[in-house]
Structure 1
Amino acid sequence: METHHLAGSRTRDETHRRLPRLSHPAGDLPRSSMEGWHPLYPGHIPTSPLQKALLAAGSAVMALCDPYRHDMVAVLGETTGCLALPNLRDKMKNHPEGYRILQERPRIRLSTLDMARLQGLPDGSLGREYVRFLEDNKVSPDTRMPPKFVDDEELAYVIQRYREVHDLMHTLLGMPTNMLGEVVVKWFEAVQTGLPMCVLGAAFGPVRLSSRKLQVLATELVPWAIRSGLNASCVLNVYYEQRWEQPVESLREELGIFPPPPVRV
């Protein structure tokens, strides 16, 4: 029995040596396209323009059917952001605080946040209101998916940063995570970032809202979100991790975000 086991092992080893080893995450690509390939960042999956188009179409359909499919929303953002992401990167490079963020690459994760310190900050401060938002809506910054389909390491960080400050946009805008609140934030982000994913969410998100909420959205919230998005400086140029003590109202005023309208969302 032992001799048979050893012989079987040799056979498997020889077979393994004869087979090509596929270390590429997209192992079904032609071998010629894999030679000399190196991942741009952990988890990166290279895709052709056609593959990106197919991924964008499929993820758009899934995201419209279920707006809470964050994985599909993430894929849509990565495969359609080829024009918006370089523009956002350039805005960050041309701003002192944004440039420092690009250089230092901070991450907003539970592992990087001192939750006890943030909970102890005064009411109204960015850190305290951010933690309150996470607790009230039962969300975590760790749910933000890492990028996969962005074929530039720096741009991959830009979209990662956008995802990780999304909850801070909710905090600054005073919007919950229900459908109405998400649509309002998407309108603001669409104007701010130009990402097609945000435009799509802003345009098609309201189809699930009641007539009463649609009226509030159209007459109060969307005009405010658009005006604020146009008036505000780029929200990716804020080193939020160094602003936790700053009052939310002060940061809104600094950025140029108008106070939220007095309506229940």
Structure 2
Amino acid sequence: MNFPTWAVAGFWGLVSGSALLIGAAIGYFLQVPQRLVAAIMAFGSGVLISTLSLELMEEAYEKGGFDATAIGFVGGAAAYTFANWLLARHGAKHRKRSGDQQKQERASVNSGQKEATDSGDDNGMALAIGALLDGIPESIVIGLSMLAGGAVSMVAVVAIFLSNLPEGLSSAAGMKKAGRTPQYVLLLWAGIMVISGLSSLLGYTIFSGFSDNVVAATMAVSAGAVLAMIADTMIPEAFDVAHNFTGLITVLGFLVSFVLSKMGE
């Protein structure tokens, strides 16, 4: 049975996003050592960096040339950085941290709010928006990867799945220490998983009729946003615990993604 291409795009976006929910469940209900969380985070960072370099940016360059790719890449990074800066001011700076940073940040935000005793969850919305900010560009990548020949890039799916797992794991571990309920954590990441599937679907359907230059710029925007996310959130969490081993583990993740990309040729 042949399914519509847009449905396939949504399905693979959902699959890659499911790693967020799986990781969140593991991080919340199991006692995962912080060093292991940091190692997985570093590995996922290497996988994503390799995928951005060898798959996404290369495809964007072939479609739209240097100008569209460069403008989109820098624009995506700038947009993510600005949005991340705004979220940090509202209590979502440490959303991917697995230690006590989220707990301290939540207490700091609540202490500065007059209505804190009524709501008790002043940075909850910032956390949710931050999770969306991190997840949507990755999912759009999957939909865009299908525009060339109608087949999904399994390298991109595997890379995003491998990077999403430690993101959900680390963030949920930190949320638990900050006093978040399991219902809050699991519903948040389940929602992000669904939105990931929709983002992938929209990435394919919306841009299927656009010119190569527009598609190239959009791919580069996603790449720039994801790379900025890695540098701002994933690498700091990994280095904070793994320290001198972070670079080596990141390189191993890069190598795995490189091998997968060559196997898919």
TM-score (norm 1): 0.31
| Higher relative contact order (Cα pairs below 8 Å, separated by 6+ residues) | 2
Name the structure with the higher helix share. Answer: 2
